[in-house]
Amino acid sequence: MKKFVLIILLIIVLVLMIRLDVFSIKNVSYNVGLYGDQDSIESVIVGEMNYLIHSKSYIKDKVLEIPMIDSVTVEKKFPNTVKLNIIYKEPFLKIADNKIKVIIDGEGNVLAINRDIKTKFSVTGLELSYYKVNNKLKIHNDREILMNLIMLIKLINKSGIDINNKIDYNNNNVYIYTYTGLKVNFGDCSNIEEKFNNFVNIYHDLLEKDIDYGEIDVSITDLPLFRKQN
């Protein structure tokens, strides 16, 4: 009988402590990213989570709903503190369509819209048809161009060639520019690996000849050209 009464008393005390928010998460510590997501992180946890009610896996799943977060480990500290170790997603590309600026990751997922986040490359000229945070970005009338662009940028990064960070899309052609004065036309970026290899071969040949101004046209895979400009 005494045990039963003790259990009832413990339950009553526990319920009262929960109702009085004793175990409501009031403190959250985490490594801050570069993208100003502090408000989002704290709004998900502080006052919304409970030390006793919510498991670490539940807290993790809620934190991962924040677009800029790639992964997170969760540690709970009694009675009302959570510690997070966050790995943030890498902003890969900024796409500007008039007044809309969309930041995507290296897989084409939208991370942010109209936020001041730095990326190594930006693209103008694409017409956006669907953009929503945590969803795949869609380009009007061209399903392949975005992933081809992403592949092009990855190839540029691997090549070590010094390329201007602004990429143009105009009349179904993708243009990049070297800082020395070369303009490069990749067409629709289809067969991009082969086209990029053609560009690299012409680029190094021009370097050997001390030619650093003109247009390299690799838009047609089997017909790479160089046009010297006066």
Q: What is the pLDDT of residues 70-112, one digit of tens each?
A: 999 999 998 889 999 999 989 999 999 999 999 999 999 999 9
DSSP, residue by residue, 161-186: --B-SEEEEETTEEEEEBTTSEEEE-
pLDDT at 174 over 70: yes
Higher model confidence: residue 35 or residue 71? 71
**Is residue 18 over pLDDT 60?**
no
For 23-88, CATH number?
A: 3.10.20.310
Alpha helical stretches, state H, 64-187: 145-159
Q: pLDDT tens-digit profile of 155-171? A: 999 999 999 999 999 99
CA 51 to chain centre: 31
Average pLDDT in the chain? 88
CA distance 14 to 117: 45
Of the candidates 103, 136, 100, the residue with the CA atom closest to the CA atom of residue 34: 103
Backbone phi and psi for residue 15, each to the nearest 5 degrees, phi listed first: -60, -45
φ, ψ at 130 (rounded to 5°) = -155, 125
pLDDT at res. 17:
52
CATH of 93-227, one of 2.30.30, 1.20.1070, 3.90.950, 3.40.50: 3.40.50
At 43 the pLDDT is: 86
pLDDT tens-digit series, residues 60-72: 999 998 888 999 9
Q: Is the pLDDT of residue 122 over 70?
A: yes
Residue ranges covered by each domain of the chain: 23-88, 93-227
* Residue 175 pLDDT exceeds 70: yes
Domain 23-88 and domain 93-227 have a common topology:
no
Token pair belonging to 181: 């004065």
Check: pTM over 0.85? Answer yes or no: no
